[in-house]
Amino acid sequence: MKIFGVLWRNLTARARTRAVADVVATPAGFRGMIEHDPSLCTGCTACMQVCAPRAISFDTADRSSITWQFFAGQCSYCGLCVQYCPTHAITNRGKLPPVTGDQSLHRVAHKVDYRLCAHCSRPIIPLPETLLHDLYEGALAQSVHDQQALCEACRRKAASRGLRDAFLGPDTDRERTTT
C-alpha cells in the first residue's frame, strides 16, 4: 500500500504547480524576444524581408514617419532580423514576452520620424550616429554630417559635383578658363 505514502507526501508537501509569474530559468544562449531601438532604425525593412512568420511589418501610411511593428505572438525567435539589421537597431537579450492573455502587450509599435532633405525637402531617415562612427572611424568630418542631411538623390548630385570639382577645379575657376 505504497500509494497511501505517496498521497500523504503530496498532500502535505508544497504544490508543484507554478504560478504564472514564476518563470522557469532559460537555457544559455536563449534568444528571447527582440528589442527595437527606434533611434537606430533607418526603416530599411531588411528585418521585415527576412522575417519568415511575418511578425515584423512597417506602416508607411503616414507621410511624416514610418512605424516599425512587431507581434510577439507570431515571432518564431529565429533571430534573423537581429542578424540582418544593418544598424543593430534590433537586438535580443533573452527577454521573455509577458505571460498574459492581453494580446496588446505582445505588440510593439515604434514610430521613426522622417527628416527633410536639407536641399530638396524630400523625407529621409539619416544613418544613426553610431553607424557613421563604424563606417568612418574616428571623429566625423563636417562633410559627413552635411551629406547625412541630404536625400539619396541630392547626395549623389553632391558627390558627382565634388568629383567633378576635384578633376576640373572649383566651379568659379572653370568658368574663368572657359570664358
Q: Of 11-19, 28-36, 40-48, 111-119, which part binds other proteins (CB under 8 A)?
A: 11-19
DSSP for residue 141: P
The answer to the question of residue 10 lying near other proteins (CB under 8 A) is: yes
Q: How far is the CB of 6 from other proteins (least distance, A)?
A: 8
Strands 90-95 vs 65-71: parallel, antiparallel or unpaired: unpaired
The answer to the question of residue 23 lying near other proteins (CB under 8 A) is: no
Q: How many chain residues bind other proteins (CB under 8 A)?
A: 10
Show the CA angle centred on residue 122, arms to residues 119 and 124, nearest 5°: 100
Nearest-angstrom CA–CA distance, 151 and 125: 8
The answer to the question of residue 103 lying near other proteins (CB under 8 A) is: no
Rg (the chain; Cα; Å): 27
E strands of 60-179, at which residues?
Answer: 65-71, 90-95, 107-113, 115-116, 123-124
Query: Is the separation of the CB atoms in 48 and 42 below 8 Å?
Result: no
The answer to the question of residue 99 lying near other proteins (CB under 8 A) is: no
Q: Which of 19, 17, 68, 78 is nearest to 42 (CA)?
A: 68
Q: Which of 50, 58, 38 is nearest to 75 (CA)?
A: 50
The answer to the question of residue 21 lying near other proteins (CB under 8 A) is: no
Q: How far is the CB of 102 from other proteins (least distance, A)?
A: 18
The answer to the question of residue 15 lying near other proteins (CB under 8 A) is: yes
The answer to the question of residue 17 lying near other proteins (CB under 8 A) is: yes
Nine-digit cell string for 141: 568630418
7, 96, 105, 135: which one contacts other proteins (CB under 8 A)? Answer: 7
The answer to the question of residue 4 lying near other proteins (CB under 8 A) is: yes
Q: Of 10-18, 47-55, 70-78, 89-97, which part binds other proteins (CB under 8 A)?
A: 10-18
Which residue ranges make up the site for other proteins (CB under 8 A)? Answer: 3-4, 7, 9-11, 13, 15-17
